[in-house]
Amino acid sequence: MNELLAQLFGSQPSYAGQLLGEDEARRLQQQAQQSGLLNVGLALLAGAGPSPQRRGVGELLAQGVMAGQQAYQGAYDKAVRDRMLKSNSQSASKPVKSSRWLNKPSKAHSLHARCTARTSWANGLVLA
């Protein structure tokens, strides 16, 4: 059965085992195959209903297989997107280490602070 599904939907992407781990990739492949089969059946049922034009069995099968392949690939796309969002959110939640120089005011900042404390440019008065 797995060989038939692999021929119908293709094998899992080469990056799946490395990105997700072998167990997770195997579980995802089973879910993707089930989703693909479900969509094949739904497309066949949808195409079997009344229609103003007569549709051949080959056309219905082609639409069903195409829907199944899209669902199969969609399952992998969603898993990769979820993994990337998870890794991005984990890296964003880590506290950023601040450097020592970020905590110290710069020389220009301290010079500016001294100058503005002694001189009021707004009204042109020089304070002692």
Residue-wise pLDDT tens digits, 53-85: 888 889 998 999 899 999 989 988 888 888 888
Statement: residue 7 has pLDDT above 80:
no
Q: Can you tell me the distance from the alpha carbon of 86 to that of 82, in angstroms, rounded to the nearest whole number?
A: 6
Supply the pTM of this predicted model.
0.61
**For the chain, where are the E strands, in sequence order?**
119-120, 125-126
Per-residue model confidence as pLDDT tens digits over 24-35: 888 888 888 899
- Looking at residue 96, the DSSP 8-state letter turns out to be P
Do residues 5 and 71 lie in contact, with contact meaning Cβ atoms separated by under 8 Å?
A: no
Q: Is the dihedral of CA 118, 119, 120, 126 positive or negative?
A: positive
Q: Give 8-26 pLDDT, tens digit per residue.
A: 777 777 777 777 888 888 8
Q: How far from chain centre, in Å, is Cα 60?
A: 32
